């Protein structure tokens, strides 16, 4: 079974306090579902080609399906409601390649 990843780039943030509240709830939802935040930064980025220097978050799950289920979970959906329109994001759920 291949791991699953959330890859999130923040295009813009209009409300830092809503983002902070979302982060607290999302972190709990991720941890409760076995996810691990591997990276969360807006500073430690080196971009190439058409890349943009944007806050980026990378979360690892034991499987692609688990990553999908966590996104659909009530706890994570509650976090998204708190985030509302405070950020524009490029959010992807990606299946890792085999060993």
Which DSSP string corresponds to the chain? ---EEEEEEEEEES-HHHHHHHHHHHHHHHHHTT-EEEEEESSS----TT----EEEEEEESSHHHHHHHHHSHHHHHHHHHHTTSEEEEEEEEEPPP-
Number of domains in the chain: 1
Percentage of the residues of the chain whose pLDDT score is greater than 90: 81
Q: What is this structure's pTM?
A: 0.91
Q: Indicate which CATH number applies to the domain containing 87.
A: 3.30.70.100
Which domain does 60 fall in, by range? 4-44+52-95
Give the model confidence (pLDDT) of 48-94 as tens digits. 898 888 999 999 999 999 999 999 999 999 999 999 999 999 999 99
Provide the pLDDT confidence category of residue 97 given band limits of 50, 70 and 90.
confident
Whether the predicted pLDDT of 98 surpasses 80: no
Whether the predicted pLDDT of 99 surpasses 70: no
């Amino acid at each position: 079974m291949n791991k699953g990843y959330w890859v999130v780039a923040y295009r813009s943030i209009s409300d830092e306090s809503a983002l902070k509240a979302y982060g607290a709830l999302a972190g709990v939802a991720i941890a409760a579902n076995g996810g691990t935040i591997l990276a969360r930064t807006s500073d430690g980025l080196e971009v190439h080609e058409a890349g943009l220097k944007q806050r980026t978050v990378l979360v690892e799950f034991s499987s692609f399906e688990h990553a999908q289920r966590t996104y659909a979970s009530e706890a994570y959906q509650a976090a998204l409601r708190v985030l509302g329109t405070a950020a524009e994001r490029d959010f992807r759920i990606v299946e890792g390649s085999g060993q």
